[in-house]
Chains A and B, each alone.
Chain A
């Protein structure tokens, strides 16, 4: 069973601050790690899919890293903006066309 944990549970930062969150997962039986951004009443939006140890991906001010040997991924947001306010979910994938096991998410609030 893939157990995915995220920390912190919630985070409140000022506009312009940089921040990061952690996702941890069992390093054995790893297939893929996903990050999603989920705003209230909208669809979860895929940010990154990472499969290889050492993977680093970037999308604008958001980036992510993956360490499959120690079982963690970091998501970084540089210069947070109010529109970054959302819940950030990570999920472990067990294979193609298969289940995603989600963490409980990190709720980010960015204020002016």
Chain B
């Protein structure tokens, strides 16, 4: 299995809602990543987990809360988001000793 899967594909939420994005891989990768992509902009890194521990947080607001419950799963918990948080959220994974990242198809998030 060489796939990174993400659910849901699309999510619409209000500013007071709490929702979660899910990412899963079964390639045995121990590094997992969240990126955010706004329209016509490049993907930007949000978080990196290495061996299920948060290793990089690119100064992301606390309304985004990542979680890595096991080596195959990565979640992004969302609370009190703003309309400007509407974007495509991409998950990726890699071997810890590698720079080659494998991406999921993303979750398109709209915050109303």
- The 8 Å CB contact of B48, one of A44, A97, A105, is A97
Q: Which A1-56 residues have C-beta < 8 A from chain B?
A: 4, 31-32, 34, 36, 41-44, 46, 49
Contacting residue for A96 out of B99, B102, B105, CB 8 A: B99
Contact B94 A44 (CB under 8 A): no
Q: A31-B99, A32-B99, A93-B99 are in contact. Are A102 and B105 (CB under 8 A)?
A: no
Question: Quick one: which of B88-106 are within 8 Å of A by CB?
Answer: 90, 94, 96-106
Considering the complex, give the chain A residue whose CB is closest to the CB of B100.
A49
B residues sitting closer than 8 Å to A (CB atoms) are 3-4, 31, 33, 40-45, 48, 50, 55-56, 58, 90, 94, 96-106
With A98-B56, A99-B56 as known contacts, state yes or no: A46 contacts B100, CB within 8 Å. yes
Q: Flag if B100 contacts A97 (CB, 8 Å).
A: no
Shortest Cβ distance from B9 into A: residue: A41
A104: B residues at CB distance < 8 A: 40-42
Q: How far is the CA of A46 from the CA of B105 in the complex (A)?
A: 13
CB distance from B26 to the nearest CB of A (A): 15
The CA-CA distance from A32 to B100 in the complex, in Å, is 9
Q: How far is the CA of A46 from the CA of B24 in the complex (A)?
A: 18
Chain B residues with Cβ under 8 A from A95's Cβ? 99
Check A97 against B94 for contact (C-beta < 8 Å). yes
- A59 CB, min distance to chain B CBs, angstroms: 14
Size of chain A's interface in residues, with CB distance under 8 A?
24
User: Which of A34, A42, A43, A105 has the most B CB atoms < 10 Å from its CB?
Assistant: A43
The chain B residue with its CB closest to the CB of A45 is: B103
A96-B99, A98-B56, A98-B99 are contacts. A41–B41 as well, Cβ < 8 Å? no
Most buried by B among A36, A97, A103: A97
Q: Chain B contacts of A43 at CB under 8 A? A: 3-4, 102-106
Contacts of B48 in A (CB 8 A): 97-99
22 contacts between A and B (CB under 8 A): A31-B99, A34-B100, A34-B101, A43-B3, A43-B102, A43-B106, A49-B99, A89-B42, A96-B98, A97-B50, A97-B97, A97-B98, A98-B48, A99-B33, A99-B45, A100-B43, A100-B101, A101-B42, A101-B45, A102-B44, A103-B42, A104-B41
